[in-house]
Amino acid sequence: MKVVVGQGSCGIATGAKKTSNEFERIVAEKNLTNVVIDKTGCIGTCYLEPIVDVYNEEGALEARYVKCTPDKVAEIVDEHLIGGKPVEKYVIPTEDEAFLSQQQRIVLRNCGKINPEKIEEYLAVGGYEAARKVITSMTPDQVIEEIKVSGLRGRGGAGFPTWFKWNAIKSNKGAQKYMVCNADEGDPGAFMDRSVLEGDPHSLLEGMIIGGFAAGATEGIIYCRAEYPLAIARLEIAMAQAREKGYLGKNLFGTDFSFDIRIKAGAGAFVCGEETALIASLEGERGMPRLKPPFPAAKGYWKLPTNINNVETYANVAWIIANGGQAFADRGAEKSKGSKVFALAGKIKKGGLVEVPMGMTLREVIYNIGGGIKNDKEFKAVQMGGPSGGCIPAQLIDTPVTYEDINKTGAIVGSGGMIVMDEDTCMVDMARFFLDFTRKESCGKCNYCRIGTKRMLEILERITKGEGKDGDIELLEELAGKIKDGAMCGLGQTAPNPVLTTIRYFRNEYEDHIYNHKCTAKSCKALIHYEITDDCKGCGKCARNCPVNAITGEKKQVHKIDPNVCIKCGKCEDNCAFGAVKRV
């Protein structure tokens, strides 16, 4: 039997290592020689970690245990591993099964199934067969044609056709060409790439090898943020194993084609996700974008033809070659083919990674897969595309997730972050949050981005403080338009998007802040205060939890909050068992 403990960053964060150690300890103690303890990457249901899968001798999944803390291990060993009967109470509930069963996995095909540190497991599921097929039996043009048939578009954000990029670098002349993988996943709340790097690093390597063959590149570089230590460690292991097997290095599969990959750890600047800034960083320069053209396909790394794709894009490639471009194109929508991984986060019941065919509606993703909104509150909007994207309001929840349809709303598909917001989220504050992010991450090269975002942020800050002025909304719109027009790179050009979309769909909230000094969602601290209603039973819990002793009251009497002392931390509301504390 095989016990597989999910050990992506999410699993490890919830204590998967301890669970794994506990299994090892008890199994050794009980001398269960037929039990193997193994690990895998993230399966996607991050909210259920740690997850433990038990496979029988034939390799079939017998049971998936969720929230499997070390204290449950002994019981599982006794009843399941020894007794042969799964412990039903710890097994994944059927509604959570649905989270997985409604997905169609290409990129995440091996995540949560294989051990990312063992190349044999990747080979066992057909790994490196696509690379072998390409290198030994196809021409670069055929590869590019296959990718063209698949309709694969860049998964990093812009959605640029992958075949076109590959064709461009192939046609450009240069003493050396480079295949670069952008693994600088920087959007707050996005972790698609990390999951692939940690759970299935070989699929990325294979994609890069195939791309390298098509483009005529001999060197690949993975630009990965240093904040992903586990990903880098597993990539290093995978690369070493691949080199050992002859899938990386000189004369791959006995042909003339040589290709090797190295990792460059980046410091995690958001702007380094922009391709020219990424190249500057690769060259050891400060990560600042430059003007395009020339595009990297003509003059990239060391001014040589360079192709840059994101992790997820590469991870699709081997599957497309193995199954044919048409199989990929059969999935998804007309202009947005295949499937896309999304990171569900925010006020959603089941946060995690999902891979769905493109064209599925937001409602299906959020409600059917994500299980709806936490605490059954009302869905308000979803932020797509991170700080460069925009919000999509509840009335547009039936929008299909395709590049075109999402763009129409003012948001972008982006790298796939989906941050769900409920009625308690203030949209002005949300816009402020994202703009604060881009302002901090602006490299400072061009005026519009460096100063324009700062000025916009100042306006948003004063609005959330109730100090907004008549004309602020128009000023924001004007500045946003100019920044989009004038900023040098994608970071600046898209930075105003969260502001523009929130103004577009939630203008009333902005007006409420400015003219009525009211925060519609009752979230902006400067515009709310706390009150205790007559529902108060006088238990005193709120007073005990108040960090500034602002609450007074006799036992069994209705308590009172002194607004002059209150710091609006909200602890009283969180602690009241009777719902007697209200934000006004």
Interface residues with other proteins (CB under 8 A)? Answer: 290-291, 293, 445-448, 450-452, 454-455, 478-479, 482, 485-488
Query: Could you tell me the smallest distance in angstroms from the CB atom of residue 173 to other proteins?
Result: 17
**149 or 451, CB closer to other proteins?**
451
**157 or 371, CB closer to other proteins?**
157
Please count the other Cβ atoms lying within 10 Å of the Cβ belonging to residue 283: 13
Query: Could you tell me the smallest distance in angstroms from the CB atom of residue 448 to other proteins?
Result: 6
Query: Could you tell me the smallest distance in angstroms from the CB atom of residue 451 to other proteins?
Result: 4
**59 or 293, CB closer to other proteins?**
293
Residue whose token pair is 């001999």: 218
Query: Could you tell me the smallest distance in angstroms from the CB atom of residue 469 to other proteins?
Result: 16
How does DSSP classify residue 110?
S
The CA angle 355-358-361, to the nearest 5 degrees, is 95
Enumerate residues 6+ apart whose C-beta is below 8 A from 388. 157, 187, 412, 414, 438, 490, 491, 494, 495, 497
**188 or 486, CB closer to other proteins?**
486
Q: How far apart are CA 273 and CA 223, in angstroms?
A: 9
Query: Could you tell me the smallest distance in angstroms from the CB atom of residue 440 to other proteins?
Result: 16
Query: Could you tell me the smallest distance in angstroms from the CB atom of residue 392 to other proteins?
Result: 23
Q: Tell whether omega for the bond before 93 is within 30 degrees of 0, i.e. cis.
A: no
**221 or 487, CB closer to other proteins?**
487
Closest CA to 166 of 361, 380, 316, 362: 316
**252 or 463, CB closer to other proteins?**
463
Give CA torsion, residues 70, 76, 82, 84, to 10 deg: -160
Cβ–Cβ < 8 Å for 114, 122: yes
Amino acid at 537: K
How does DSSP classify residue 200?
-
**421 or 499, CB closer to other proteins?**
499
Query: Could you tell me the smallest distance in angstroms from the CB atom of residue 462 to other proteins?
Result: 15
DSSP string, 13-66: HTTHHHHHHHHHHHHHHTT-TT-EEEEE---S-GGG-S-EEEE-TTS-EEEEE-
Query: Could you tell me the smallest distance in angstroms from the CB atom of residue 290 to other proteins?
Result: 7
**58 or 485, CB closer to other proteins?**
485
